[in-house]
Structure 1
Amino acid sequence: MKVLIVDDEKHVREAIRYFVPWEQYGVTGIYEATNGQEAMEIVLEQEPAVVFTDMRMPLMDGAELLEWLHRCSPYTKTIVISGYQDFSYVKPAIVYGGIDYLLKPVNRKALVAAADRAFQKWNEEKQERERSFHQNIQLNVLRPLYWDKTLSDLISGTVAYPDVENALRKELGLPRGAERCRIAIISLQSSGGLLLRKFRGDVQLTSFVLANVCNEIVSRKQEGFAFRYWHDGADVVIMLWSGLENAEKMLMDINESVCSAYGILLDIGLSPVLPFPDRLKDAFTGAKTALTERNLLRTGSRIHTAALAVDVPEVPGAETGELLEKLRLSLMSGDPERIQRSLEQWADFGARSGVLTLSGLRALEDSLRDMLDKWKKEWADSGEAAADSMPAFRSPLDEHGEFSFLHWKEGLKKAVLGLVTESRLSRASDSRIVLEIREYLDRNFQLDITLQHIADRFFLSRENVSRKFKQVTGENLSDYLTYLRIEKAKELLQNSDLRMSRIAELVGYEDEKYFSRVFKKATGQTPREFRKREEEEQ
C-alpha cells in the first residue's frame, strides 16, 4: 500500500508523515508532491491507495486534482487538508468522494481517524474487487460448460426452447423472429483423428479449442454459436440462425483457420435449411447423415451437405457372391498374384458406381472378413477359426487425412496376404518350426541373436535355419529381425524421451552408431531425424 502527500508547504507534509502510524496499515511507500501536476505523475506511476491533498497550490489546485483522481484513479481515497472553510473548497471534496475535509493546523487525532477510515475503506473495496474478480473467473469457466449442456439438450429435445429463448437472445445474440436454422457438425475422428493427436488424445481440450476457433468466425456477426456436444453423434456442433445462404463459405473459413493453425483439414457435415426451433433435431440428424454418409470417392471438398449425402447403392448379391467365391478359391491356391488380382476385382466392383460411403466401406470389409473366416476354417480343417486370425485393415487415409481408395486396396492386400502367410506357416511341418522361430524372434528381438543361437535353440544347423526361414516366409531371417527392431525403435522414438543409446540397447544394438546406420538404411532417416519429424507433426 502506498500514499501520496500533496501540499506546497513542507512543514505540513512533514506533520502528516509524523502523525500517522503508517506501519500499522502496512504502508510500503510514502511519496510527496508540491502541486497537482507533480501529483498526477506520481499517481500514474505509483498508484497510491490514499492521497492527502491541500486545496490551494500553484499550477494545479486541489479541486482540479480531485476531479482528475475521480476520473483517472477511481479506487484512490482522498483526504483534504486545507486552511480554508469556504464551501467552494469543501464542495469538490464532497462531489468527488473525499473521505474527510480537515482544517489546518492539522489535528493529530482527527488526521489519524481520517487516515484510518480511508485505509479501511480502500481495503474493503479491494477485497470486494478481488471477490468479484474471482467470481467472474468462475463464471467465465462455467459459462461455456453451461451452453455446451444447454444447447446439447435443446438439440436432443430434452430442453424446451421457451425455457432458454431469453438467454439465447441476451447472451448469444439470437435475433427476434429467427425462423430458420442450419446445423453443422464436426467429429474429432475426421481426417483420421489428426487434430486429436495434436492434443495428445485429449477429447475435452481438442473440442474446446475447436469450438473456440469456430466461434471466432461464427460469433463475429452473431450468426450462430459453436459448442461441444454432450451426446453421441458429434464432438462439436455449430448452430446457425443467420447468414444461412453463406453457411458453406463460413465453414470453409473455419477449415482454413484450423489448417492455418494446425495443418489439418476437417470434414464437416451441414444440414439443409429447416424451420427454427421446431426442426432443430432434424437439422442435427441431417448434418450427421451428410457427414457419415458422404461419398468417400468424391475428393476435394471437406464441406458435406445433406443434399449430396447418398446411400450405398445396392450391390447384386449374386455378382458379389461370385467375386468373393473367386477370391476364396484364389486363397486356396496360395498364389499371391492370383490372390491380389481377385481382391482388386472385388474391391473395384464395390466402388464401381462412383459412390462409397463410410457405412458402405464397413459393409465391404465385414463381408470380406466373413469370407476369410470361412476360408480359415476350411483351410485349418477345423470347426472354428482362431479368435485373432482376422486381419485389422490399415487406415485408408492418405497423409492429409483424406480417404484414398488406393491406400484402402493396398491395405487389404497386405492384410490378406499376411493372413495367407500365417496360415501356410501353421500347416506344414517345416513351417511349424519356422513359425516357432519367428515367434521366438517376436518375443526376444532385443537379445543378441545370431544364426548359431537360433540353430542351437531349435536343434538345427545354421544353414538349415537360414534356408527354411527363407523358403517358408520368403525373406531372410536377418531382414526379419532387423524389421522387428526398427519397428520397436520407431515406437520408442515416437512415444518416449529416452536417449538414443538406451533405445539402441532396448532393441538389441549395443553400438548406438551402428543402430543409427541400420535405422537410416531401413527408413531413409536417422533416428534423430525421425523423432524430430514426428514431434513436428504432433
Structure 2
Amino acid sequence: MKVLIVDDEKHVREAIRYFVPWEKYGISDICEATNGQEAINIIMEQQPAIVFTDMRMPLVDGAELLEWLHQHSPNTKTIVISGYQDFNYVKPAIVYGGTDYLLKPLNSKQLIAAAEHAFKLWQEEEREREQAFRQNMQLNVLRPLYWDKVLSDLLSDNASFQELQPALSEELGMCKDAESCSIAVISLQAANCRLLQRFHGDLQLTSFVLANVCNEVLSPQRNGFAFRYWQTGVDIVILFWDDASEAHKWLLHINEAIQLAYGVQVDIGLSLVNALPQQLHTAFLQAQQGLSERNLLHRAGRIHLYKEESHEGGSVEDHAFQAYIDKLKIAVLSGETDRMNLTVEDWAEQLAGMSVLTESNFLRMQEEIRAVLLRLQQEDNTQFELCYDEEGMFSVEGWRDQLKALLLRLSKESKLSETSDSRLVLEIRDYLDQNYRQDMTLQHIAERFFISRENVSRKFKQITGENLSDYLTNLRIVRAKALLQNTNLRLSQISELVGYEDEKYFSRVFKKATGQTPREYRKQ
C-alpha cells in the first residue's frame, strides 16, 4: 500500500507521519502534497491506496479532490481532516465515500483508529478484487472450452438448440429469429496443414489460435462463431447464421487473416444454406464432405462448397490403382531399391495425369500403402511425411519423393532384401489359399507377381520344400474332402468350387491323391 497526505500545513503532515504505525502494515511509501492539484498529479502517478486530506486548501480544495477521486480512483480510501465543524465540509466526505472525518487538532488515538480502519478495509477489498480477477481469468479460459463442448454436442445431436438459444443470442450474437445456417470445417491433420508445422505439431494450440483468428474476423459483425470440434474428423467448425449465404465471403476474409498472420492459407469445407436448427447436423455433414471430396489436383481456390453430385472417373480405386498396389507389394518383396523407385515413379506419373483426385480417395490410397507395408513389416513403422508444398497445396512430386524415402528407410531398417524370397513365397501361398477356386496356372502366378515361371517354381520349392503344383492340388483336395463330408452338393458342384471345371478330371486327381474316388470317400 502507498499513502498520500494532503495538507497545506506542514505540522499536520508531520503529525500524521509520526502517530500512524506504518510498519505494522508494511507501508514505506508515504507521499505528501500541499494542495489538491498537487495531490491529483501524485495520485495519477503513484496510485496510493489511502489518502489523508485537508478540506481547505489552495488551487483545488478537499471537496474537489474527493469528487475527482470518486470518479478516477474509486478504490482509494480517504480520511478527511478538517479544522471546521461545518456540514458543507462533512457532506462531500459522505457523498464521495470517505471512510472517516477527523477534526483538528488531531487526537492520536482517533487518527490511529481511522488509519487502521482504512488499511483493513482496503486490504479486504483488495483480496476480493484479486479473487474476482482470478475468477474472471478462469472464466476467460473456461468459456471457450464451454462453447467448444456445447456446440460440438449440438452438431452431434446431443444438445437442445432451444435450451441453448438464449445463451447463443446473448453471448455469441445469434439473431433470435435466425432461420438458416451454413457450416464450414477445417481439418489440420488430414491435409498435413502447414499451419500445424508453425506450431511444432501442437494440434491443441494450433486449433486454439486458428479459432481465435476466425472469431476476430467474425466478432464485429456477430454473424458467426468458430469453435474447436471435440469429436474426430475435423478440428475447427465455423457456424454461420443470419445471412448464411454470405459465408463464402467471410471465409475468404478469414483465410486472408491467416495468410497475413502466418503466411499460409487453409482448405475449408462449406455446406449449403440449411434450415436452423432442423438441419444443423446435415449442414455439418455437407461441410465435411465438401472438404474431403475436394480435388487435390485443382490448385485454384481454398473454399470447397459441398456438391450433391458425386465425382465420376479418375478414381484411384479403379483397376489401375489396384495394379499399382500389387506392383508396389512385389517391388518391396524384391528388396530392390531401383525396382521400388521405378514403381513409385510410374504411379506418380499416373496420379499427375488424372483429372480428379479427392482427398478422401487419396487418404484411402495411403491406408492401402500402409497396409501393404504393415503386412510386410509386422509392425506399423510407416510415417508418411508431408506431401504438400509451401502454399499448403497437394504436390504429386512431394508424394513421390516422400514415398521413395519411406521405402528406402524401411528397406534399410528391416533388411527386406535378406528375406525377400521367403516373403515372396508367403505372398504366393496366401494368394493360392484365397484363390484356389479359380483356374490357376503357373503363367498366371508369374504374371501376378512379376517374376518368371521358372523363378516361381524354383523359389516355392526352395522355401516350402514342395512343388507349387503339388501344394495347390493338396489345398484343393483338402477343401474337397470337407465339402464331401459336410455337404450334399453334387460332385460337379464340388469340382467347380475347388477349381476344376471338368468333373472327370477332378475325380482322377482326387483318386490319385487319396486312393479313392470322391464317391467312395463320401460313402466311407
2:386 counterpart of 1:400: no
Preserved CA contact (<8 Å) 1:172 1:222: yes
Aligned residue for 1:59, secondary structure, equals coil
Q: Residues 309 and 36 from structure 1, CA distance in 2 versus in 1: closer, same or farther, beyond 3 angstroms?
A: farther
Alpha-carbon distance between aligned partners in 2 of 1:37 and 1:390, rounded to the nearest angstrom: 76
**C-alpha distance after superposition, 1:367-398 (max 9, x if no partner):** 7889x89xxxxxxxxxx966479988765433
- Asked if the contact 2:2–2:29 (Cα under 8 Å) also holds between the matched residues in 1, the reply is yes
For the 8 Å contact 1:323–1:342, the answer to whether it is kept is no
Any conservation in 1 of the 2:351–2:396 contact (CA below 8 Å)?
Answer: no
Q: 1:24 aligns to what?
A: 24
- Preserved contact between residue 268 and residue 291 of structure 1 (Cα < 8 Å): yes
Residue 85 of structure 1, CA deviation: 1.3
Matches of 2:22 and 2:109, distance apart in 1: 14
Equivalent AA in structure 1 for residue 388 of structure 2: L
In structure 2, the partner of 1:151 is: 151
Q: Which amino acid aligns with 1:259?
A: Q
- Quick one: structure 1 residues 427 and 85, their matched pair in 2 at CA, closer, same or farther if it must change by over 3 Å? closer
Change (3 A) 1:299 1:81: same
State the AA in 2 paired with 1:198.
Answer: R
Query: Would the aligned equivalents of 1:184 and 1:271 in 2 still touch at CA under 8 Å?
Result: yes
Q: Which residue of 2 aligns with 1:161?
A: 161
How far apart, in 2, do the equivalents of 1:95 and 1:321 lie? 85
Q: Residue 359 of structure 2 corresponds to which residue in structure 1? A: 358
Paired residue secondary structure (2:307):
helix
How far did residue 22 of structure 1 move?
2.0
Residue 486 of structure 2 corresponds to which residue in structure 1? none
Judged with a 3 Å threshold, the aligned counterparts in structure 2 of structure 1 residues 135 and 318 are, in CA distance, closer, same or farther, namely closer
Compute the displacement of 1:327 (Å): 5.9
- Supply the distance in 2 between the matched residues of 1:346 and 1:333 (Cα, whole angstroms): 18
Task: Measure how far apart 1:17 and its partner are.
Answer: 2.1
Question: Relative to structure 1, is the Cα distance of residues 78 and 346 closer, same or farther in structure 2, using a 3 angstrom cutoff?
Answer: closer
Within 1, Cα distance between the matches of 2:316 and 2:187? 32
Q: CA offsets per residue over residues 386-445 of structure 1, 9 Å max, x none?
A: 6479988765433433112344456667878999998777569xxxxxxxxxxxxxxxxx
Change (3 A) 1:99 1:297: same
1:511 maps to: none
Q: Deviations over 1:160-199 (max 9, x none)?
A: 1122111111111111201111111111125424222222
Between stretches 351-360 and 193-202, larger displacement belongs to: 351-360
Residues 83, 357 of structure 1: alpha-carbon distance in 2 compared, 3 angstrom cutoff: same
The amino acid that maps onto 1:398 is D
CA contact (8 A) 1:324 1:368 kept: no
User: Against the structure 1 CA distance between its residues 407 and 100, is the aligned structure 2 distance closer, same or farther, given a 3 Å change threshold?
Assistant: closer
**Which amino acid in structure 1 is aligned with residue 391 of structure 2?**
H
Contact 1:157–1:281 (CA under 8 A) maintained in structure 2 = yes
Q: By how many angstroms is 1:126 displaced?
A: 1.0
For 1:278 and 1:255, the matched residues in 2 are separated by: 29
Whether 1:256 and 2:247 are equivalent positions in the alignment is no
Closer/same/farther in 2, CA of residues 117 and 417 from structure 1, 3 Å limit: closer
Q: Distance in 2 between matches of 1:349 and 1:209?
A: 38
Aligned to 2:492: none
* CA positional deviation for 1:313: 3.6
Contact 2:194 2:390 in 1 (8 A): no
1:5-404 aligned within 5 A: 5-189=5-189, 191-307=191-307, 310-311=310-311, 313=313, 320=320, 354-363=355-364, 387=378, 395-404=386-395
Instruction: Give, as a single letter, the amino acid of the residue that structure 1 aligns with 2:362.
Output: L
Amino acid aligned to 1:402: M
The verdict on how the C-alpha distance between 1:107 and 1:200 changes in structure 2, with shifts beyond 3 A counting, is same
Counterpart residue identity of residue 400, structure 1? E
Distance 1:387 1:53, change over 3 A: closer
Q: Secondary structure at the match of 1:192?
A: coil
Measure the CA separation in 2 of the matches of 1:414 and 1:143: 45
8 Å CA contact retained: 1:79, 1:101: yes
**In 2, Cα distance between the equivalents of 1:340 and 1:105?**
100
Q: Distance in 2 between matches of 1:390 and 1:11?
A: 85
> Retained in 2: the 8 A contact 1:290–1:308?
no
Cα deviation for residue 360 of structure 1 reads: 2.5
Structure 1, 358-367 or 278-287: larger mean CA deviation: 358-367
CA pair 154-399 structure 1, distance change in 2 beyond 3 A: same
Instruction: Tell me: CA distance 1:81–1:356, structure 2 relative to 1, closer, same or farther (3 Å).
Output: same
**CA offsets per residue over residues 270-300 of structure 1, 9 Å max, x none?**
1111011111111110000011111122112
Question: Alignment partner of 2:278: what SS?
Answer: coil
Distance 1:13 1:328 in 2: 93
Q: Distance in 2 between matches of 1:19 and 1:318?
A: 95
CA–CA separation in structure 1 for the residues paired with 2:343 and 2:218: 49
TM-score normalised over the length of structure 2: 0.69
AA in 1 matched with 2:389? D
User: What do you get for the CA RMSD once the two structures are aligned?
Assistant: 3.7
Q: 1:22 to 1:291 in 2, by over 3 A?
A: same
In structure 2, distance between residues paired with 1:316 and 1:38 = 81
Classify 1:71/1:423 alpha carbon distance in 2 versus 1 (closer, same or farther; 3 Å): closer
Return the alpha-carbon distance in structure 2 between the equivalents of residues 120 and 318 of structure 1.
81
Indicate conservation of the 8 Å contact 1:225/1:240, yes or no.
Answer: yes
Structure 2 counterpart SS, 1:220: coil
Query: Structure 2: which amino acid aligns with 1:60?
Result: V
- Structure with larger Rg: 2
Letter in 2 for 1:397: Y
* Structure 1 CA distance for aligned equivalents of residues 137 and 249 of structure 2: 34
Letter in 1 for 2:183: I
Give me the whole-angstrom Cα distance separating, in 1, the residues matched to 2:329 and 2:22.
Answer: 98
Sort the Cα spacing of 1:416 and 1:308 in 2 relative to 1 into closer, same or farther, 3 A. farther
Q: Size of the alignment, in residue pairs?
A: 417
Q: After superposing the two structures, state which structure 1 stretch, 391-400 or 157-166, moved more.
A: 391-400
The structural deviation recorded for 1:65 is 1.0
Q: Is the 1:63–1:89 contact (alpha carbons within 8 Å) kept by the matching residues of 2?
A: yes
173-182 or 44-53, larger mean C-alpha shift? 44-53
User: Structure 2 CA distance, aligned partners of 1:280 and 1:157?
Assistant: 9
Q: Residues 121 and 314 (structure 1 numbering): CA distance in 2 closer, same or farther, change over 3 Å?
A: same
Distance 1:347-1:106 versus aligned 2 partners, 3 A rule:
closer
Residues 75 and 296 (structure 1), Cα distance of their counterparts in 2 relative to 1, 3 Å cut: same
Q: State the distance in 2 between where 1:98 and 1:277 align.
A: 55
User: What is the CA–CA distance in structure 2 between the aligned matches of 1:415 and 1:262, rounded to whole Å?
Assistant: 29
Query: Deviation digits for residues 474-500 of structure 1, max 9, x if unmatched?
Result: xxxxxxxxxxxxxxxxxxxxxxxxxxx
Aligned-partner residue type, residue 179 of structure 1: E
Partner amino acid for 1:205? L
Percent identity between the aligned chains?
53
5 Å-filtered alignment, 1:518-529, equals none
Instruction: State the AA in 2 paired with 1:27.
Output: I
Deviation at 1:121, TM superposition (A): 1.3
1:150 is displaced (CA, Å) by 0.7
Q: Are the equivalent residues in 1 in contact too, given 2:334–2:420 (CA < 8 A)?
A: no
